Structure 1
Amino acid sequence: MSAQRYGTSAWTVTARIKAQLPDGSETKYFLKCASEDSGRVMMEGEFNAMSELYKWAPDLVPKPYAWGKYKADHPETYFFLQQYIEMSDRVPDPEQLCKKLTRLHRTSVSPNGCFGFHITTCQGSIPQSVGWETSWTIFFAKLLKHVVELDLERNGRWEDLETLEQRIFSHVIPRLIGNLERDGRSVRPCLIHADLWEGNTGTSIEDNTVYIFDSGAYYAHNEMEIGDWRCHYNKIHDEVYTETYLRHYEPSEPKEEWEDRNRMYSIYYNVIYSCNHLGQGKAVRQVAYDDMYYLIDKYAPFSDGEGPERLAESDYASLSAERDHTAVEI
């Protein structure tokens, strides 16, 4: 019946479609589309991610219907179609969001007992490295290494940052993340949304139900989900969200290392953010640099005179503004 541009997205075109069904009733759909091979990866990935979320938590996500390719070939354009729900853009209620989220994390089961996903998913426009692995430590290292290499390619070489990254991979991840899988401990893979900031949530105007969407899902350690909430450009950075989540789902053992794992996981979100937002990536890279140095100091300190320079206060001149920045993405 009609199609209108709806919403704002940095990498896709979005629309609201009004349609008449064969029985004469009317319904609405949300449509997203993007072109070329990158668009195919994004649309196919999002459809599969949202379908997997809907399978385990149908009250948490709009229903996904289809993805595919338009008949027109110039340029090749791909779409993703899902249920349309009229939503406000206010920040989600912490209790409702975290209760639903922890239920998803507790009940979802990896189809093969491994970490990863059966198809490439994206965060923003960036494809993630989500090939299956039996070890969370190995999976996380590969996940982070992929975006670290992409960040250096897109934002330029930074020798001191590269030195820190090398030590993170060689010493800190095996010690800190590896400790989850040591001394008889193990990590159970669960499905996470994987890009959960306030712009990917909405509250139904009709009944105040909280929904999440625009997912880059994969099976992971549940704590990976809320590493994103540590990032200062995320309004769910408010500590009430993390506190509420942990009230419903206690930290993994060793619990005393939860804060450091949360910092480690946030590094991934900051690095991939810098890949997605090239004009704003510098300050976010500085946050990652500082967080890496903190973890290295604690778990694998450099010998005197060995490590790179620490950032001076002047290096953070643009950081406060960047931390308050919120990109509009759907």
Structure 2
Amino acid sequence: MSGAVHHLLGYDVSKQSHVNGDFLIDDGVLATLPQATKILSAQRYGTSAWTVTARIKARLPDGSETRYFLKCASEESGRVMIEGEFHAMSELYKRAPDLVPKPYAWGKYKADHPETYFFLQQYIEMSNCVPEPNQLCEKLAKLHRTSVSPNGCFGFHITTCQGSIPQSVGWETSWTTFFAKLLKHVVELDLKLNGRWEDLETLEQRIFSHVVPRLIGNLERDERSVRPCLIHADLWEGNTGTSYEDNAVYIFDSGAYYAHDEMEIGDWRCHYNKIHDAVYTETYLRHNGPSEPKEEWDDRNRMYSIYYNVVYSCNHMSQGKAVRQV
């Protein structure tokens, strides 16, 4: 997918008269904008392993100017990723409009070589420094406390991705069942992509047969229950930014689904994150404390981090065995 979509950077922008920049805007993108919108500039912007991204400046029919952020991916895998991100960001925006840039549209390019899909959202000028812990965690905890699953179940109405990896997010009434399915999907994919590893497989089998039913199942035992809430689901510092205009923290590149709120910060335990700094987890827990049984919180956090580590291994399959062994 990444090789095909990067052909977009070779398009002849001279065909795009009266537009400054080095990125050609497809008619499919133009069709999603208000009628009579004029594109003023389109520039390549940012870097991504699986997508091509651009910044667009436009004049709206009322004469005002605005900017958009455009993300493109190709082929069927690109469609799954782009469509999933649009719906994930739309759900987050509906629940927490002060936390995510506004999503506008997703669709397909009119040009079909390669078959390309796009996601258009609000452009916010942001720094890429690590987010201020209290603001991020306060907003995130509020999202987790106030969001409500539309059907009372865990999951999402459409497949979402972490990086290029589709997640198994079909609806389930039990968090234990959902988490086991979510984790098993990426475990099996990791073995397929990065090869068999007998010791790892033995450990993973034990996790599914004993640890998940006991540890995660304890959340739903003895009259306890887990309330599904909306999580970003891929929240590391690279998917956050701080607005230059008002210092507001934003999150983006979501693979959202409805989950146990503690699942969100399992990612922060992983070594590859700067949010690995304990201040983030400690700050979050001040805003949103652990579920019962509280004494098992750290064990659950370690278990949830396994999912993110396995997905990381799948997304970095060229170095997968080394990633797993770390």
Q: 1:151 is aligned with what amino acid? A: D
Matched, 1:123 2:162: yes
Match of 1:216 among 250, 255, 259: 255
Percent of residue pairs identical: 90
Q: Counterpart of 1:107?
A: 146
Q: CA deviation at 1:106?
A: 0.2
Q: 2:129 is aligned with what amino acid? A: R
Q: Counterpart of 1:227?
A: 266
Could you list the per-position Cα deviations for residues 3-50 of structure 1 after superposition, in whole angstroms to 9, with x for gaps in the alignment? Answer: 110001010000000111001111100000000001100110000000
Per mean C-alpha deviation after superposition, the further-off stretch among 271-280 and 116-125 is: 271-280
Matched, 1:25 2:64: yes
Q: Counterpart of 1:310?
A: none
- Larger RCO: Structure 1 or Structure 2 (Cα < 8 Å, ≥ 6 residues apart)? 1
Q: Which consecutive aligned stretches of 4+ in structure 1 deviate over 6 angstroms post-superposition?
A: none
Q: Counterpart of 2:5?
A: none
Match of 2:219 among 172, 180, 184: 180
Matched, 1:149 2:188: yes
Matched, 1:159 2:213: no
Matched, 1:54 2:93: yes
Match of 1:271 among 310, 317, 320: 310
* 2:299 counterpart SS class: helix
Q: Unaligned stretches of 5+ in structure 1?
A: 287-318, 320-330
Matched residues in 1 for 2:134 and 2:71: separation?
Answer: 30
Q: Counterpart of 1:90?
A: 129
Q: Counterpart of 1:328?
A: none
Could you list the per-position Cα deviations for residues 29-82 of structure 1 after superposition, in whole angstroms to 9, with x for gaps in the alignment? Answer: 000000000110011000000000000000000000000001111211000000
Q: 1:221 is aligned with what amino acid? A: H
Match of 1:68 among 107, 121, 142: 107
RMSD: 0.7
Q: CA deviation at 1:281?
A: 2.6
Q: CA deviation at 1:280?
A: 3.2
* 2:247 counterpart SS class: coil
Q: Counterpart of 1:295?
A: none
Could you list the per-position Cα deviations for residues 83-115 of structure 1 after superposition, in whole angstroms to 9, with x for gaps in the alignment? Answer: 000000000000000000000000000000000
Matched residues in 2 for 1:25 and 1:141: separation?
Answer: 50
Matched residues in 1 for 2:323 and 2:151: separation?
Answer: 35
TM-score, with length taken from structure 2: 0.87
Matched residues in 2 for 1:126 and 1:150: separation?
Answer: 9
Matched, 1:244 2:283: yes
Q: Unaligned stretches of 5+ in structure 2?
A: 1-39
* 1:225 counterpart SS class: helix
Matched residues in 1 for 2:76 and 2:107: separation?
Answer: 12
